[in-house]
Amino acid sequence: MTVIHERESNPAAGDADRPIGYGRIQRKEDPRFVRGKGHYLDDIVLPGMLHGAVLRAPVAHARLVSIDTTNALAHPKVHAVITGKDLEGLKLAWAPTLSADVQAVLVTDKVRFQGQEVAFVVAEDRYAARDALELIDVEYDVLPPLVDARRALDADAPLIRDEMEGRTDNRIFDWEMGDAAETDAVFAGADVVVSQEMVYPRVHPAPMETCGAVADFDPVDGKLTLYETTQAPHAHRTLFAIVAGIPEHKIRIVSPDIGGGFGNKVGIYPGYILAVVGSIVTGRPVKWMEDRSENLMSTSFARDYIMQGEIAATKDGKILALRTNVLADHGAFNATAQPTKNPAGFFSIFTGSYDLQAAHCKVTGVYTNKAPGGVAYACSFRVTEAVYLVERMVDVLARKLEMDPAELRLKNFIKPEQFPYANKTGWVYDSGNYEAAMRRSMELAGYEELRREQQEKRAKGELMGIGLSFFTEVVGAGPRKHFDIVGLGMADGAELRVHPTGKAVVRLSVQSQGQGHETTFAQIVAEELGIPPENIDVVHGDTDQTPFGLGTYGSRSTPVSGGAVALVARKVREKAKLIAAAMLETRPEDLEWEKGRWFVKGDPTAGKTIEDIAMAAHGTLTLPEGVDGNLDAEVTYDPPNLTFPFGAYICVVDVDPGTGRVLVRRFIAVDDCGTRINPMIIEGQVHGGLTDGVGMALMEIIEFDADGNNLGGSFMDYLIPTAMEVPDWETGFTVTPSPHHPIGAKGIGESATVGSPPAIVNAVVDALAPFGVTHMDMPCTPARVWAAMQGRATPPI
């Protein structure tokens, strides 16, 4: 059947301009956003609503001596002032984290990081709440802070978690993957071994909308409605049931439009709990919305890995093995949001895209006097750190071997015929064609021509750099037997109802923070059922309205919930088949599907569209035995494996030799996310991630001074790229569908954030090659680049 014939015979399939199913269509959510009618957390106003504000610690490490709230309580507009002592009475002073630790909701004994929550004021309006913070008198007994993770395990290091019985040091965990002995043996026999220490500095996801909550506790029926900036409404409901002791059926979590998440809105922050307590205490709804400094100083940061990498190879460039020792700074509480069995997330995918004989990693997590968190900022559970390590190490090796970094990568890729490929740390890569993606990006970039240009420029003393990175992502957690968060298996539900007139509603557990779920998931249903996307409503973000599932992070929405949606649509399709057979008075096995209708094999004129079938399902037709009178279905999808998107990135930079300023002149990104549902949305996801990469590589960092002061506590200091620092992105793609995924999709949300930083740093290091520079740590600010040119590069921490 040719495409033209299909369009003529089946208008439901749409066309290239207006596909019913996959293809570029405008986003269904956009009309409200461009009119300013998005409905974000701070837009929520409930009758009688009060406003909360958090008093935060001005120092990083201090004993709490006393809190006097008398003056604050005397403020005419203040309704309540809550302290750690009050919470102790409610058994809410400490809350469990997502990593089997506890976190103070309000300080009871000791401040453990600057910006930690000390007291909560509830007042008539937000101005009064802010004013009252100044009226609380707190006395601190300042202790020496620990902000350098390298010192965390020293015998004389300040003990951060002295409240934990029997604890004598700041070690959280030691975790290993791969075979140490096997790896050592390969290293011992290798021609070439190079090592490099590298720091992935602490950065912050900093979504444009900060975090907040509106808690509305109804004292009569005991029901809590909690509006939250959350990426994981269902997981939060269960956790609130555990933390607050409110029965789970009496909790409704609503996640409205979210102004960006990037992993910042996965955890449960003290402010959310305090809003709930405030509502219970005052009997009125309470809104808490953090300001930007609170967001940057107290909510989930990302990275903060100090990595010692070693790579072994033959002298002709066959990479044999990789090993690494990592010091992971988790801050004052271990509150990373990641699967339970993976204390370093998916870092063990640091073997990257290469066919190795051996690999080993050891990660040591430590407490410091810094904000908790660590897994955020589109990191795919620490794949960012893993990809940075391996892609920098490959470049360090290329320099050592005097090989072109593209050639070295091409020589060592896992070959298409090796998939499914079991790597040395326990992952089974589902599919890939790395060489094709690499060659496509080199072709788009004009790689050979760029190298020639670089030679000419170098001859003139100009500093031009070309950086490559090739990444393999691991997303879509996950098979529930292997992956859970606080015991909740990482499977996702989906419910689909086709109304009598053939319009549909699909209900999902994941929550968009800008990824366009209302469009993408409607397109998946459209592709499977032939119902136009505009006739499919996507409901999400409300636990009373949607099936259970773990939420949107780790690029898991399309791999997990996308699979669920495809399967639930197929379930409806199969049910429609039974009903169509009854309508056509034939046997189901005699029917054939084309997008939007079932018809009799060999007689395309005898068929019933999904609309006809929906009406019949709800109508008077005598339904076959065992078929209910509706066209609905529900599923829970438990993925058989994770998915492994990949991509090849090339970055071209120019460095000003006199000032160290870096200009990202070009960036070429070829991504393979398997089946492509909406190319426009995919491109948008890639562009955003590439910009994150420029941010981390060139400017973003949360630093601390020796006194424990956070030096990145506002947008004056925490710099995020503007339109002036990024180029006009050049994107391309290859398509290698996932063999195990219902629609072959792999996820794209974090690929570019994961893959771009090493390409940019590799480009800067390449530009500085005439100065003998083989490595420099992020961020490549003018001052740091200049220091590297002088041979004085120092790690940022």
Partner 1 sequence: MQIPAPFDYVRATTVEDALELLARHGPESRIIAGGHSLLPMMKLRLSRPEWLIDINDLFELDFILRDGEDLRIGALTRHTTLLESDEVHRLFPIVRDAELVIADPVVRNRGTIGGSLCQADPAEDLSTVCAVLGAIAVVRGPGGERTLSMHDFHRGPYQTAVGPDELLCEVRLPIRARSASAYEKVERRVGDWAVGAAGASVTLAEDGSIADAAVGLTALGLDHTVEEAAGLLRGKRPSEELFADAGRLAAEACDPVADQRGPVDYKRHLADELTRRVLRRACARAAGHPDQPATPTQEG
Partner 2 sequence: MQISMTVNGNEVTSDIEPRVLLVHYIREVLGLTGTHWGCDTSNCGTCVVLLDGQPVKSCTVLAAMAAGHDVRTVEGLASGTTLDPVQQGFMEEHGLQCGFCTPGMMLTARALLDKNPHPDEQEIRQAISGQICRCTGYATIVRSVQWAAAHPAAGAGLGEADEVLDGTDTVVEDVATETEDSEVKA
> Using CB under 8 A, which of 26, 71, 545, 709 touches partner 2?
26
Of 33-41, 84-92, 233-241, 422-430, the segment contacting partner 2 by CB under 8 A is 33-41
Site string for partner 2, 168-207 (x = CB under 8 A): --------------------------------------xx
∠ at Cα 722 (720, 724), nearest 5°?
135
> Using CB under 8 A, which of 4, 16, 35, 449 touches partner 2?
35
Site string for partner 1, 126-165 (x = CB under 8 A): xx--xx--x-------------------------------
43 lines the binding site for partner 2 (CB under 8 A): yes
> Using CB under 8 A, which of 90, 687, 703, 771 touches partner 2?
687
> Using CB under 8 A, which of 38, 58, 500, 795 touches partner 2?
38
Verify cis geometry, omega within 30 degrees of 0, for the bond prior to 657: no
* 626 vs 624: CA distance, rounded Å: 6
Of 25-33, 156-164, 172-180, 385-393, the segment contacting partner 2 by CB under 8 A is 25-33
* 302 vs 287: CA distance, rounded Å: 27
**β-pair partners for 497:** 505, 632
Site string for partner 1, 718-757 (x = CB under 8 A): -x-xx-xx--------------------------------
Q: Which is nearer to partner 2, 339 or 688 (CB)?
A: 688
Q: Is 172 left (phi over 0), alpha (psi -120 to 50) or beta?
A: alpha
What residue type is 409 in one-letter code? R
| C-alpha pair distances (Å), 132 with each of 161, 270, 287, 289 | 30, 19, 16, 16
What residue type is 141 in one-letter code? D
**β-pair partners for 52:** 122, 288
> Using CB under 8 A, which of 539, 627, 680, 735 touches partner 2?
680
CB 333 within 8 A of CB 95: no
Q: Rule CB under 8 A: which of 261-300 touch partner 1?
A: 289, 291, 293
> Using CB under 8 A, which of 37, 63, 167, 315 touches partner 2?
37
Of 233-241, 256-264, 428-436, 493-501, the segment contacting partner 2 by CB under 8 A is 256-264
655 lines the binding site for partner 1 (CB under 8 A): yes
Residue 209 contact, options partner 2, partner 1, none, Cβ 5-8 Å cut-off depending on partner type: partner 2
Mode of pairing for the β-strands spanning 504-508 and 536-539: parallel
Q: Rule CB under 8 A: which of 276-305 touch partner 2?
A: 291-293
Residue 729 contact, options partner 1, partner 2, none, Cβ 5-8 Å cut-off depending on partner type: partner 2
Three-state secondary-structure class, residue 347? helix
Q: Other C-beta atoms within 10 Å of 20: how many? A: 24
> Using CB under 8 A, which of 107, 215, 258, 565 touches partner 2?
258
27 lines the binding site for partner 2 (CB under 8 A): yes
Instruction: Work out how close the CB of 399 gets to partner 1 at its nearest, in angstroms, rounded to a whole number.
Output: 24
Site string for partner 2, 205-244 (x = CB under 8 A): -xxxxx----------------------------------
Q: Which is nearer to partner 2, 46 or 410 (CB)?
A: 46
| C-alpha pair distances (Å), 223 with each of 24, 455, 469, 647 | 42, 69, 51, 47
Q: Which is nearer to partner 1, 10 or 710 (CB)?
A: 710
> Using CB under 8 A, which of 115, 660, 688, 755 touches partner 1?
660
Here the tokens at position 271 are 């402010």
Site string for partner 2, 619-638 (x = CB under 8 A): --------------------
CB 673 within 8 A of CB 645: yes
Three-state secondary-structure class, residue 666? strand
> Using CB under 8 A, which of 257, 310, 395, 750 touches partner 2?
257
CB 557 within 8 A of CB 476: no
Name the one residue in this structure whose structure tokens are 């589902």: 430
**Residue count at the site for partner 1 (CB under 8 A)?**
35
Q: Of 626, 394, 633, nearest to 493 (Cα)?
A: 633
Burial 119-155 (b: 16+ CB within 10 A, else e): bbbbbeebebbebbbebbebebeebebbbbbeebeee
Contacts of residue 625, Cβ cutoff 8 Å, sequence gap at least 6: none
Residue 35 contact, options partner 2, partner 1, none, Cβ 5-8 Å cut-off depending on partner type: partner 2
**Residue count at the site for partner 2 (CB under 8 A)?**
55
* 405 vs 413: CA distance, rounded Å: 12
What residue type is 479 in one-letter code? P
Exposed/middle/buried for residue 795 (C-beta within 10 Å: 0-12, 13-18, 19+): middle
515 lines the binding site for partner 2 (CB under 8 A): yes
Site string for partner 2, 261-280 (x = CB under 8 A): xx------------------
Residue 393 gets which letter from DSSP?
A: H
Residue 691 contact, options partner 1, partner 2, none, Cβ 5-8 Å cut-off depending on partner type: partner 2
Residue 14 contact, options partner 2, partner 1, none, Cβ 5-8 Å cut-off depending on partner type: none
CB 769 within 8 A of CB 686: no
In order, the DSSP letters of 520-547 are HHHHHHHHHH---GGGEEEE-SBTTTS-
Q: Which is nearer to partner 1, 133 or 328 (CB)?
A: 133
The sheet with strand 646-655 has its strands ordered as: 463-472, 646-655, 662-672, 730-733
703 lines the binding site for partner 1 (CB under 8 A): yes
Q: Which is nearer to partner 1, 206 or 583 (CB)?
A: 206
Here the tokens at position 15 are 């066309």
Of 220-228, 434-442, 584-592, 675-683, the segment contacting partner 2 by CB under 8 A is 675-683
Instruction: Work out how close the CB of 722 gets to partner 1 at its nearest, in angstroms, rounded to a whole number.
Output: 5
Where on the chain is the footprint of partner 1 (CB under 8 A)? 126-127, 130-131, 134, 289, 291, 293, 654-661, 663, 665, 698-699, 703, 711, 716-717, 719, 721-722, 724-725, 781-783, 786-787, 790
Where on the chain is the footprint of partner 2 (CB under 8 A)? 26-27, 29-40, 42-43, 127, 206-210, 257-262, 291-293, 513-516, 680-681, 683-684, 686-691, 714-716, 720, 722-724, 726, 728-729
